[in-house]
Amino acid sequence: MEGEVVAMNSLTVNLHLMMVSFFQPDATRNTVLIESSAFPSDRYAVVSQLEFHGLSAAQNLIEVQPRQGERTLRTEDMIERIEREGSRLALVLLPGVQYLTGQLLNMPALIAAARRVGANVGVDLAHAIGNTVMQLHDWNPDFAVWCSYKYLNAGPGAVGGCFVHERHARNFRLPRFAGWWGHNKAQRFLYDPKFDPIAGAQGWQISNPPILSTAPLLASLQIFQRAGMRALRDKSIALTGFMQKLIEQHLPNLVEIITPGEREQRGCQLSLRIARPATEARRCQEALTAAGVIGDWREPDVLRLAPIPLYNSFADVLAAVDTLARALRGSGL
C-alpha cells in the first residue's frame, strides 16, 4: 500500500534501522530467530544488535537448521520451533529466498506463526525482490529490507529499500534513529528542533537519497512496470524448470540440484553441487565464467545459476547447460 515502501540506504543499514524500532528486548523476550546459513551480513547485524543490548549470540540467537541429511528447511519444522520458543522471541528474521540454497520460504505461514506467539517479524528480501511476487501488506510482517543490485538490476552500490507495515505508519512512539529526511516535508525548512516524523516508511529516512545510485533503480523499475511482475514470474518458472530438466537429463550423478524442485518453493535460482571435491568444482565454475556463463560461487561447494526472465531466453539456458557439461568434461569429471 502507498506509504509502506521507501527507497533508502543499503540493505544492512536498513536492517539496523529497523531493528532499532522492532527489536526491543526485555527480561523475557530477548531472543532473535534466524535460519542457519543466513547471509553473513544479516548475522553480523543481528549479533551486533544483541551485543548492543548486552546480550549474546550464545544465549539469545536461535538458528533454525534443516533436518540431518537435508539441505533445505521444512516449513513445519520452522513453525514448530517458533511455537516452542515463542515466549522468548523478540524478533523472527527470515529471508524471502534463502541465498545459498535458493529456497523460497513459505512466508505467509511463517509470518503468521511468529505473530501468533507475539514476536515481531522482519524479512530480508535481497534474493526475492524482483524475483518472486511480493504481497507484503497481506503477509503482515512488521518490516522488510532489500538491496536492488541483484534481481532489480540497479547495479552495485544502488540504493536499497525498506517496507514498514501500515499499522506502524503513525506509531510515533516507536524508537527510531531520526534524521533530516524523515522529518515532515512541509515543515522541513522551518528547522524545528523537534523531530516530526513523516507517517509511513518515509519517516525512517535519515538523509536525502543519493541521486546517482537512485537513478539506475528508477530506470529498472520502469522496465519492471512495463513487463509486469506476474508475467516475469511465469517466464521464470518456465525457464528454471527447463534448466532443471536439462541438468537432470544430461548430467545425472554429476550435478546435484539442492534448490527445491517444486516451483512454489523457489525463484529463478538453481543452486548446484558438483559431485567432486570443491577444488575441482571451483575450476568448473571458473571455466563457465571464461566461456561467458556468469553464475557465482558460494563457499564451500555451491554454484548458483539463475536464468533471469527479464533478459534470459530458453536458448540461453540451453547454452548454459551445454557449457556446464563441457566444463565438467574439461575438468575430467
Question: Rounded mean pLDDT of the chain?
Answer: 95
pLDDT at residue 1 in the model = 81
pLDDT at residue 206 in the model = 96
Q: Any idea which fold 5-220 has? A: Aspartate Aminotransferase; domain 2 (3.40.640)
Residue 188 in this model has a pLDDT that exceeds 90: no
Residue 163 in this model has a pLDDT that exceeds 70: yes
Q: Where are the domains of the chain?
A: 5-220, 229-330
Q: Predicted confidence band at 333 (pLDDT cuts at 50, 70, 90)?
A: very low
CB 57 within 8 A of CB 88: no
d(CA 71, CA 201): 35
pLDDT at residue 331 in the model = 55
pLDDT tens per residue across span 96-128: 999 999 999 999 999 999 999 999 999 999 999
The model's pTM: 0.95
Residue 93 in this model has a pLDDT that exceeds 60: yes
Distances in whole angstroms, Cα of residue 241 to Cα of each of 78, 234, 296:
27, 11, 19
CB atoms within 10 A of CB 313: 12
Closest by Cα among 288, 294, 299, 290 to 325: 288
Q: Are strands 120-124 and 143-146 parallel, antiparallel or unpaired?
A: parallel
Torsion of CA 135, 80, 43, 270, to 10 degrees: -60
pLDDT tens per residue across span 259-310: 999 999 999 999 999 877 777 778 888 888 999 999 988 888 899 999 999 9
Please give the class, per CATH, of domain 229-330: alpha beta
Residue 204 in this model has a pLDDT that exceeds 90: yes
d(CA 70, CA 72): 6
Q: What is the mean pLDDT of residues 230-234?
A: 98
Residue 227 in this model has a pLDDT that exceeds 90: yes
pLDDT at residue 92 in the model = 98
The C-alpha cell that represents 93 in the structure block: 528474521
Type of residue numbered 221: L
d(CA 58, CA 75): 24
